[in-house]
Homo-oligomer: A and B are copies of this chain.
Amino acid sequence: MPAPDDHTAAAGPSPRLAFLGPAGTFTEQAARSLAPKLAPKLATGQQASGDQKPSVALEPCSTVTVALDLVRSGEVAGAVVPIENSVEGSVPVTLDELATGDPLVIAAEATVPIQFSLIARPGTTLEAITLVGTHPHAAAQTRKWVASNLPQARVVHTNSTAAAGAGIADGTATWDAAITSPLAADHYQLQTLAQGIEDNASAETRFVLVTRPGAPASPTGADKTSLVAFIRTDHPGLLLELLEEFALRGVNLSRIESRPTGAGLGRYCFSIDCEGHIAEARVGEALMGLHRTCDDVRFLGSYPRADGVRTEVEKGTGDGDFREAESWLASLRNGD
């Protein structure tokens, strides 16, 4: 009997998908929405098994690291983890796990709206609340509701929305109520006084489906490419040059973040999302430019954008333009 291939080890009767647990969170919701993206990936190289699409077994993990290590070891076919939150920022452990260790790639993304609840110790009434704890961005996104419904209350900022709930639970908080995610009430055994109190729907969390490296899915015209660039030295203009590698080929960036490399203060790598797909010429040439000029570039996948917005291709930067330029150059070199 042959040894299981690395890429299909997790397949078999029912492929497994890890996610950051516990069960019942928004991550599970994201994992369910991303699971179908895993199946076609698994199907490649297999016989199509009749008309049934394979069901995916979800497996909660205690940490992002545990989930991604299951992918690395081949025990699961993929993992769904949060990468960015428009309220509290990027998820450093996800960025760092993708930037270091055995290579992984992003195969798909999904966004989930962030909802806010007002939670407090059981028995608390809205009228009794004079201080509300929450993260500053959450405060900004519930300002109208608080002004209308808690006119007597003042808001104090906490490190995170979870910290606001935890402080009430462990008795260290000076605030009477916390604005948190809907799940925090259960977690801290507090009472939900109001839910859906966000002023608008702009807040959201972005989740990614992470797999072992393989050929990216075909371009859709609405794709995103993720990578990490380790800049050569501390020479001042290098970030500028890195950005120009994209700008000159008409490739827009949708996210750029510095992360410490662990080699000391002032030593960063840049975690980048750009518009377009590695199969497209302008993205490919920009990546080659980075590869030539950076210490290291780690490709983290090309995948469809969750928002489905198609990339606007600037004049002169389409695949046809690149092909035409290559023919032109070849004919000049040959003296045709």
Chain A interfacial positions (CB closer than 8 Å to B): 62-65, 69, 84-90, 92-93, 96-97, 100-101, 111, 135-137, 140-141, 156-160, 163, 172, 202-204, 206, 213-216, 236-237, 239-241, 243-245, 247-248, 252-268, 278-279, 284-285, 287-289, 291-293, 299, 315-317, 321-322, 324-326, 328-329, 332-335
**What separation, in Å, do the CA atoms of A299 and B335 have in the docked complex?**
11
- Identify which of B69, B96, B156, B203 contacts A137 (C-beta below 8 A): B96
B287 contacts A329, C-beta separation under 8 Å: yes
CA distance A69 to B139 in the complex (A): 15
A251–B278 CA distance with the chains assembled, in angstroms: 26
Q: A163-B63, A329-B287 are in contact. Are A335 and B215 (CB under 8 A)?
A: yes
| A96 / chain B contacts, CB cutoff of 8 Å | 89, 135-137
Q: Is the CB of A289 within 8 A of B240?
A: no
**A84: which of B206, B265, B324 is its contact (CB, 8 Å)?**
B265
Copies held by the complex: 4
Question: Please, which residue of chain B has its CB at the minimum distance from the CB of A239?
Answer: B243
With A and B bound together, what is the CA distance between A296 and B57 in angstroms? 48
* A89–B55 CA distance with the chains assembled, in angstroms: 39
Q: How far is the CA of A157 from the CA of B98 in the complex (A)?
A: 12
Query: Closest CB-CB distance, A333 to chain B, in whole Å?
Result: 6
> Cβ of B321 and Cβ of A262 under 8 Å apart?
no
* A196 CA / B257 CA spacing, docked (Å): 31
